[in-house]
């Protein structure tokens, strides 16, 4: 990771995005995700009142993909990849983002993620369940209704497989993964006077590529969402709201990001070495309209940051958790 904070001093003549529209209606008759509306192909959404899950009408992966494989002398190998893509609507309200949802509704979202992870992961041919959310047009999400997707596949994706091999070689359950060690380093020294309950989660930049990237970790070792206690799930719902509120406050805009969970593979093994965590990748760099681009040197050599991770963390600490947008 190359850190070049002096880069933000250069005048910006590059692409400037349109600031996202602030106000959205509670219900949009033209939105294919809103309750009671028709989707492509004529399927009508039910009048859902909390979360709503359906099969993606434009799935990138399909369960009926025929098994196929080509192998050019073991060098060039291609295999077909069956999978299932589902869409999760967070709320019947068209206008609500995570930062504007109430904690009980977000807890419902957490529970829906867990149910989806368990249901899809239980299928014998599904070895990996990827849950993610793209927020905002800048991250490729054209619909303002809050949604997350899950994309289970037969194989563990390359980045995940790489992640796993980087973990400590010892596989005993008592050996924390390297992330767990990282949060211990990053933890503030315990204060003798503080009687507050110790936090169940930690969030901080960790080798962040994106300007305000955040890693979210449970303090207690767990391998996936379904191992979280009721209190940890409540806390996760609260943190989702607090962190996205801070993001919104940063540039006074409904902040775009990609959020995703890295959970243990669902290949039937226990994977005690896997430390469950979440990544927030927001693209904005200087303002509501100037984003970070990963081009040239970043594509060819290594990621490069225009602000230090410490400065980004300080900005996120400053902005506060009361919604100001
Ligand atoms: Zn909608
Ligand atoms: Zn990860």
List, for residues 171-186, the tens digit of each pLDDT value: 444 444 555 555 555 5
Q: Which ligand is nearest to the CA of 262?
A: 2
* Total-model pTM: 0.85
| Centroid of ligand 2 to alpha carbon of 262 (angstroms) | 5
Which pLDDT does position 170 carry in this prediction? 41
Q: Across residues 43-47, what is the average pLDDT?
A: 96
pLDDT value at position 168?
40
Task: Tell me the ligand closest to 207's alpha carbon.
Answer: 2
User: Which numeric CATH code is attached to 24-159+208-319?
Assistant: 3.30.428.10
Q: Where are the domains of the chain?
A: 24-159+208-319
**Nearest ligand to the C-alpha of residue 32?**
1
Q: How many CA atoms lie within 13 A of 235 on its CB side?
A: 18
pLDDT at 113: 95
Integer Cα distance of 47 and 196 in angstroms:
42
d(CA 205, CA 201): 14
**Chain mean pLDDT for the chain:** 82
Ligand nearest to the CA of 24: 1
Distance CA 3, CA 18 (A): 27
Ligand 1 midpoint to CA 200 (Å): 33
Spatial CA neighbour of 148 closest among 77, 97, 208, 220: 97
C-alpha of residue 46 to centroid of ligand 1, in Å: 13
Q: Which residues surround ligand 1, an ion (CB under 5 A)?
A: 28, 31, 33-34, 94, 145
Q: Any idea which ligand is nearest the CA of 277?
A: 2
Q: Report whether 22 contacts 254 (CB < 8 A).
A: yes
As residues whose CB is below 5 A from the ion ligand 2, the structure lists 262
């Amino acid at each position: 990771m190359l850190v070049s904070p002096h880069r933000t001093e250069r005048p910006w003549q590059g692409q400037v995005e349109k600031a996202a529209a602030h106000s959205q209606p509670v219900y949009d008759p033209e939105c294919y995700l809103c309750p009671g509306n028709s989707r492509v192909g004529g399927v009508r959404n039910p009048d859902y009142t909390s979360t709503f899950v359906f099969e993606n009408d434009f799935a990138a992966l399909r369960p009926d993909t025929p098994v196929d494989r080509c192998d050019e002398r073991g060098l060039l190998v291609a295999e077909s990849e069956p999978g299932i893509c589902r869409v999760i609507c967070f709320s019947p309200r068209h206008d609500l983002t995570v930062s504007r949802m109430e904690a009980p509704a977000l807890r419902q979202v957490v529970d829906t993620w867990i149910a989806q992870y368990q249901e899809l992961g239980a299928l014998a041919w599904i070895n990996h369940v990827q849950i993610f959310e793209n927020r905002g047009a800048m991250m490729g999400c054209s619909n303002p209704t809050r949604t997350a997707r899950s994309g289970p596949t037969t194989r563990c994706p390359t980045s995940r497989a790489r992640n796993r091999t980087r973990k400590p070689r010892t596989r005993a359950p008592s050996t924390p993964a390297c992330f767990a060690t990282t949060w211990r380093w990053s933890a503030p020294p315990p204060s003798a006077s503080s009687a507050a309950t110790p936090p169940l989660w930690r969030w901080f930049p960790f080798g962040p590529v994106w300007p305000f990237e955040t890693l979210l970790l449970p303090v207690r070792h767990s391998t996936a969402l379904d191992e979280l206690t009721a209190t940890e799930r409540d806390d996760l719902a609260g943190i989702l709201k607090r962190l996205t509120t801070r993001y919104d406050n940063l540039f006074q805009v409904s902040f775009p990001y990609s959020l995703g969970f890295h959970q243990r593979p669902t290949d039937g093994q226990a994977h005690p070495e896997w430390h469950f965590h979440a990544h927030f990748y927001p693209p904005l760099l200087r303002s509501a309209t100037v984003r970070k681009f990963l081009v040239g040197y970043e594509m060819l050599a290594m990621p490069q940051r225009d602000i230090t991770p410490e400065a980004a963390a300080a900005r996120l600490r400053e902005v506060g958790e009361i919604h100001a947008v």
